[in-house]
Amino acid sequence: MTAISSNLGYPRIGEKREWKRALEKFWKGEITEAQLISETDQIRLQSLKKQQDIGVDLIPVGDFSFYDHVLDTSVMFGIVPDRFNYQGGKVDLETYFAIARGTKDAVASEITKWFNTNYHYIVPELDNSKPTLTENRPLTFYQEAKEKLGIDGKPVLLGPITYLHLAKGYRKENLLELIDTFVPLYVQILEELQAAGASWIQIDEPIFGTQLDQSILLKAEQVYQQFAEAAPNLKIILQTYFEQVIHYQAISNFPVHAIGLDFVHGNTLELIEQYGFPSNKVLAAGIINGRNVWKADLEERLSFLESIRPYVSTDQIILQPSSSLLHVPVTKKLEEKLNNDIKAGLSFADEKLTEIVTLINGWNNGKIKITNAIKENRVERQQFIRASSRSNEQVKQALATLTASDAVRDSSFAERIKQQQTKLNLPLLPTTTIGSLPQTAVVRQTRTKWRKGDITNQEYDQFIKENIRKWIAIQEELGLDVLVHGEFERTDMVEYFGEKLNGFDVTEFGWVQSYGSRCVKPPLIYGDVSFNKPMTVKESVYAQSLTKKPVKGMLTGPVTILNWSFVHEDVARFTVQNQIAFALRKEVQVLEENGIQIIQVDEPALREGLPLDERKWKGYLEAAVYAFGLATSGVSNSTQIHTHMCYSEFQDIYDTIDALDADVISIETSRSHGEMVGSFEDHTYDKEIGLGVYDIHSPRIPAKEEILENINRALQNISPKQFWINPDCGLKTRSEEETIQALKVMVDAAAEVRNEKLTYQNN
């Protein structure tokens, strides 16, 4: 017998985002549900066929989704919040999308980050739920692959321990009992798969990369024992990823056929060297990075595998990516405009699977069988590594002279805020937006024309100015207190800076899913990062010239740029982070020199980048605070520094948020407003803060009563003198009509609360 290759999951979006376009046409009513299903069926089957042609042995099925795989798991078990009027049975697409996106009468379910990635999942709401199996999704996709392509696929299923840890709407002390209610449903899925002839199933449990109570581990072992007894002929792979398994000794002895371990992130090899690997199990070894896009060193990876060989027999291993390939683009073959040296160093989903298949050949048949592939790999990697544009000695020398004081403001917040209040003269409960304004089809089309050379630079600049002028007027008419220029010149909050800074490059088709149909195109950080020339000053200064109200300068922070980029792996991440921060520091200073009084440096990805292993948090958070301070501390006391964060689970990183020393922070909390505000009951925050008062991810206009409730809930624990009123995120994805109507409701609500507070103070 020989070892085999496997994949954990494949990108859903299609090579050119065909999936995204189909979804959005359906939401707009341009195609029917039948047409949506037909188009996405084709995308899914093409993806399966591609993996088959590459030569992957265990091809995942059921990893496809119309929106999110956690939401898929919820509706499969009939977990639908009461407000969507679900009457039981299979959940239809209308209800499915309503949960994800909201309706006129029902707010969408909360979305939050999938572990430490930029992928967002829909948080299951278990309040009053009675789980039942409404459909066996893994079985449906298994049968489809077998019947249409002759693929004996590997169904993928989100495991019960992880699913329930990600859910809300139950008391922690009831978790063990709740797990028991789901076990029979999982058992039914497994029994039906076994009856249909499935050989393998992948049950994803990334929660095992975190610290868990002993009671949970004991319950999990019991659960998997029940699975093994119910479907003894089904080979279960207990799949972990994103981190080494903290409770390795316990989990490696669970009664499953295979254990999937991440050998890219964490020190998994050390665990195996210390404790061994069970002789009665298969090791599913994730040895190719599923979250980055740089070509693996095949010779090094084969050598690494030799370190594992003493602990497993020849046929006791499966080679696979470290995680689902959901987090990388589909294929680099479309990248015709990239610098050849950089392209030589890339490996997207298809190329990573080819690397896996090559390595399994080398494992089974010896290095000599893949000699040519190793030579080609070496040549391409050296072409990338030796590219002259990768190294910048000036940047390295500049960073070597920095000290801790270079990342600290000159004065305390208490001293700064007095000067800022005098200079800005803002009202109680000031209103603002997070930054971006609607990027209409016309905006996107005009940018495309400019990139293609169909219109001149002058014509494009004039178009951007017209949009800025239009929206400054709209914001003034609405009565907002602090305005934004709208970011109409930007494709994406990270990619834009990737196009401006040295050491970055951008792809043409390197898209990955972020949430729903929202895809992002992370830039490539291939070398030392440095400032080239001002990146945001022209638009900010023009916007400020149109109004007497302050206009915020808008930048993306160093931690987020790092976390939302594909970073080369031969320089320490924190070093790259500081290079980015040092470049942004110069931009912040130029904005101040040009009269911009408020500068917002967004860090929506700070929390998501936390390692799953809490023992690594301290180093990560200290580095994040230093980088943010390095970027923002070079301004005068009277210049107000803002930042924005997404789904930050404030209570986990309270000390870090405080240590950032931003004058004003806004946090994306509208879908979980009560939980976030509750954290202030245990902490006293002395700086200024805005908790998003309505959800921009839903295509609905919030009712004034909803916003008032959110504002008043916050003011129970936060002083009105500290509180800002804003949407929970940027408005780029919303229509102009939705944006104007929603902001009007927000400003009216703010005025009502402001008048109440002022009246009370005067009395």
Q: What is the pLDDT of residue 260?
A: 98
Count Cβ atoms within 10 A of the Cβ of residue 177 and give its class: 0-12 exposed, 13-18 middle, 19 or more buried.
exposed
Please say if the pLDDT value at position 763 is more than 70.
Answer: no
Q: Which of 120, 265, 673, 697 is catalytic?
A: 697
Q: pLDDT digit string (tens) for 134-181?
A: 999 999 999 999 999 999 999 999 999 999 999 999 999 999 999 999
Give the domain ranges of the chain. 4-387, 393-762
DSSP state of 235: E
Confidence of residue 649 (pLDDT cuts 50, 70, 90): low
What is the per-residue DSSP string for 273-301? HHH---TTSEEEEEEE-SS--BPP-HHHH
Extract the annotated binding site for L-methionine: 434-436, 487, 602
Please say if the pLDDT value at position 78 is more than 90.
Answer: yes
Compute the average pLDDT of residues 618-646: 95
DSSP state of 653: G
CA quadruple 247, 250, 252, 256: dihedral sign:
negative
Q: pLDDT digit string (tens) for 191-237?
A: 999 999 999 999 999 999 999 999 999 999 999 999 999 999 999 99
Q: pLDDT digit string (tens) for 401-426?
A: 999 999 999 999 999 999 999 999 99
How large is the greatest C-alpha to C-alpha distance in the chain, in angstroms?
87
Class level of CATH domain 393-762:
alpha beta
Please say if the pLDDT value at position 525 is more than 80.
Answer: yes
Confidence of residue 104 (pLDDT cuts 50, 70, 90): confident
Q: What is the pLDDT of residue 697?
A: 73
Please say if the pLDDT value at position 99 is more than 50.
Answer: yes
Give the whole-angstrom CA distance, residue 632 versus residue 659. Answer: 13
Domain 4-387 adopts which CATH fold?
A: TIM Barrel (3.20.20)
Please say if the pLDDT value at position 66 is more than 60.
Answer: yes
Give the whole-angstrom CA distance, residue 676 versus residue 657. Answer: 14
Extract the annotated binding site: 17-20, 113, 118, 434-436, 487, 518-519, 564, 602, 608, 644, 646, 668, 729
- Name which of 269, 266, 270 is nearest 615 in CA terms: 266
DSSP state of 264: S
Q: What is the pLDDT of residue 762?
A: 61
Q: What is the pLDDT of residue 673?
A: 47
The model's pTM is 0.91
CA quadruple 473, 474, 476, 481: dihedral sign:
negative
Count Cβ atoms within 10 A of the Cβ of residue 255 and give its class: 0-12 exposed, 13-18 middle, 19 or more buried.
middle
Count Cβ atoms within 10 A of the Cβ of residue 445 and give its class: 0-12 exposed, 13-18 middle, 19 or more buried.
exposed
What's the angle, vertex CA 483, arms to CA 482 and CA 486, rounded to 5?
A: 150
Question: Treating both helix axes as pointing N-terminal to C-terminal, what angle do 371-385 and 298-308 enclose, rounded to 10 degrees?
Answer: 120
Examine domains 4-387 and 393-762 and report if their fold is the same: yes
Q: pLDDT digit string (tens) for 563-572?
A: 999 999 888 9
Q: pLDDT digit string (tens) for 304-321?
A: 999 999 999 999 999 999
Q: What is the pLDDT of residue 641?
A: 97
- Quote the strand ranges of 206-341, DSSP E: 235-239, 258-262, 282-288, 317-321
- To which H or E segment does residue 23 belong? helix 18-27
Active site annotation includes 697? yes
Please say if the pLDDT value at position 670 is more than 80.
Answer: no
Please say if the pLDDT value at position 285 is more than 50.
Answer: yes
Give the whole-angstrom CA distance, residue 155 versus residue 62. Answer: 6
Phi first, then psi, for residue 123 (nearest 5°) are: -70, 120
Q: Which amino acid is at 334?
A: L
Give the whole-angstrom CA distance, residue 643 versus residue 667. Answer: 9
Q: What is the pLDDT of residue 696?
A: 80
State both tokens at 623.
């580095």
